[in-house]
Amino acid sequence: MKRSFRPQPARASVVVEAPPPPRALDCEVSEVGAQGDGAVLVEGQQVFVPQTLPGERVRVMVAGAQGRLEAVLAPSPERVTPACALFGRCGGCALQHWADAPTLAWKRAQIETALRRRGLETDIAATVAAWGSGRRRATLHARREGKRLRIGFMRRGTHAIEEPAACLVLHPALERALPGTRRLAELLTPPDGRLAALHLTLTESGLDVDVKGAGKGRVGDPRGLMRLAETADALDLARLSVEGEPLVTRRTPWLAMGRARVEPPPGAFLQATREGEETLVRLVLAAIGSGSGRVADLFAGLGTFALRLADRGPTLAVEGDAALVPAMKKAADAAGGPMGSLEVQRRDLFRSPLGPLELKRVEAVVFDPPRAGARNQAEQLARSQVPLIVGVSCDPATFARDARILVDGGWRLERVTPVDQFRHSPHVELVGVFRR
């Protein structure tokens, strides 16, 4: 049987315009953006170019909103020679080409700009350089590419891995450990090209390593466990964990926080440098003073502030991470004295912030949220009658958003102090003091 022919309606053709080809342009850099890249204006559009500085005349290869530096035609007097041969490829540093003093001033200006965008003005101190001996935590990525294992830091904007022989922003003890991490990666990196992440933390008793992405099946047999134990021995690790589960503990890893000795869970968050932590603590304690009555430390983490505050008076520490709460409480109990009476509460402050009634007996609040900030908690604080609030933040934009909420609720942002513990990167911490 023949089938009748039905004409099909014509389909509209879709024309996909090809992106314009890259072109070389000579431009002047107007400023450095929040990610540490210089901004140039191309036909009314802002284009960001890595490794450029304000006032420089540069030749740039432009494609869309991104540019690649071809040549510096007129360098800034603030330009310096990068100390690392991998600068520009490794994604760890963005500002090695900029002298320290103008970099610190720029970080202060980033905070000022973020506050101004929210209609806020206050006294902003000069940025405190808290680099100290270098970072005491780092994350290395490892991946097998055929028969070759690559381990190191991610190349900026890609999943490619750069393999540093050294790293000038790390604490020397952490830098010395870099070659040995390859031996761990050989044992734990999946064979199928998936990434493994080695989280390294320098503690008072040695290096604490937690490997993510390996899969517990990689170490499930007795022979595999024995090889890991031998490698941990050879590298003199304090502890080796896989997927957050300790497998080899040669020495208990611990961190000094005031009089307390805290045993961090595998991969726990820690301020990047010891000097950075000490600077933040000094600023917070100075703002709180010695006669502030009961203090609440919100998003308390391992107890960076709470364990010091508890030595001064009644302190409530609130933290949502189930692993951090017992670590903090155990450290306080072992230290004894006033610190032993620290009240520790597990609570998700994003979903269930402390309200005005719960804050009624509190004389001062410290809050140190993750990068996303603490919008819900700030809204509750704005409704409270707490006389003093100290905010700690690693993101000027979310801090400014939360500060606006507090100011609208009747608070005054008294002062802000920038703290830089991320040398050669665009990141900056800050401490802000609010009063009724």
Can you tell me the distance from the alpha carbon of 321 to that of 57, in angstroms, rounded to the nearest whole number? Answer: 49
Q: Which amino acid is at 127?
A: T
398: tokens are 């979310």
**Residues with active-site annotation:** 394
Cβ-based burial of 360 (10 A; exposed 0-12, middle 13-18, buried ≥19): exposed
| 3-class DSSP assignment, residue 316 | strand
Q: What is the 3-state secondary structure (H, E, C) of the chain?
A: CCCCCCCCCCCCCCCCCCCCCCEEEEEECCEECCCCCEEEEECCEEEEECCCCCCCEEEEEEECCEEEEEEEEECCCCECCCCCCCECCECCCCCCCECHHHHHHHHHHHHHHHHHHCCCCCEECCCEECCCCCECEEEEEEEEECCEEEEEEEECCCCCEECCCCCCCECHHHHHHHHHHHHHHHHHCCCCCCCEEEEEEEECCEEEEEEECCCHHHHCCHHHHHHHHHHHHHCCCCEEEECCEEEEECCCCCEEECCEEECCCCCCCCCCCHHHHHHHHHHHHHHHCCCCCCEEEECCCCCCCHHHHCCCCCEEEEECCCCHHHHHHHHHHHHCHHHHHCEEEECCCCCCCCCCCCCCCCCEEEECCCCCCCHHHHHHHHCCCCCEEEEEECCHHHHHHHHHHHHHCCCEEEEEEEEECCCCCCCCEEEEEEEC
**Angle 256-313-395 from CA coordinates, rounded to 5°:** 60
CA–CA separation, 126 and 124 (whole Å): 7
Residue 418's beta-bridge partner residues? 430
Sign of CA dihedral 268, 271, 273, 279: negative
